[in-house]
Structure 1
Amino acid sequence: MRHLLALDLKDDPALIAQYEQHHRRIWPEIAQHLKRNGVTGMEIYRLGTRMTMVMDTDDAVYDAAAMAAAMESDPKVREWEELMWRFQAPTPWTPAGQKWMAMERIFDLSSQS
């Protein structure tokens, strides 16, 4: 299944550059965490401070709640998430305490006649 999520970055060119540097080669533990929880592909795009994540998952393995629980129980994943909050900012539509928010699909060319 494909998921699209949105998140903002703090409006600071130096922080944005650092964030991008961290994503040129993520920590191996983070890649393992994602794969272990059914993430089969992930890309992040940026325009200004707005980011969009495209995440493909294996429906037989992926469970958002289980992945969130695994994030809380794994010290290295928690460390990564705390580091990322240094650069990230919630969108104006993000509930307090949350990060990446699912985007609503409003158009699909394949459904057009």
Structure 2
Amino acid sequence: MKRYCLSVDLKNDEQLIAEYEQYHVKIWPEIEQSIRDAGITSMEIYRIENRLFMIMETSDDFSFERKAAMDAGNARVQEWEELMWQYQQSLPSAKKGEKWVLMKKIFDLNS
């Protein structure tokens, strides 16, 4: 198993944040299936103010490149991503076109 932590910001608007959270009460079934098909075994998203923090646990063979290729060929995932981008905004340090940014682990109590 591998674990990844990522972050993205939401647009700082209470109504948009509420709508975004509502979409995540029960995500579209095709989105859940695409997540699982990519080898993601667990995913949680947390929010403080307008910053989101995602924890993903994956199978050992998971790769972001493979997930991106799968998503590119899935019209429903593309529709979801376009919809979510109406609520999200890149972190100030994100590269052009980058949404969720991989975070660097700096501490592990069990290491």
Where on the TM-score scale, by shorter chain, does this alignment land: which range?
over 0.9
CA deviation map 1:7-43 (0-9, x unaligned)? 0000000000000000000000000000000000000
Number of the residue aligned with 2:105: 105
Identity across matched positions, percent? 47
Q: Which amino acid aligns with 2:89?
A: A
- Alignment size in residue pairs: 110
Range with greater deviation from structure 2 (19-28 or 66-75): 66-75
Number of the residue aligned with 2:79: 79
**Segments ≥4 residues shifted beyond 3 Å:** none
Structure 1: where are the runs of 5+ without partners? none
Q: Which amino acid aligns with 2:46?
A: Y
CA shift for structure 1 position 71? 1.0
Where does 1:1-113 land on structure 2 (aligned, <5 Å)?
1-60=2-61, 62-111=62-111
Cα distance in 2 between the residues matched to 1:33 and 1:63: 14
Report the secondary structure of 1:80's partner residue.
Answer: helix
Q: Structure 2 length normalisation: TM-score? A: 0.97
Report the secondary structure of 2:24's partner residue.
Answer: helix
Q: Which amino acid aligns with 1:8?
A: D
Cα distance in 2 between the residues matched to 1:63 and 1:43: 18
Structure 2: where are the runs of 5+ without partners? none
Q: Structure 1 length normalisation: TM-score? A: 0.95
CA deviation map 1:81-113 (0-9, x unaligned)? 0000000000011111011011001111112xx
Higher helix share: 1
CA shift for structure 1 position 46? 0.3
The two structures, once aligned, show a CA RMSD in angstroms of: 0.6
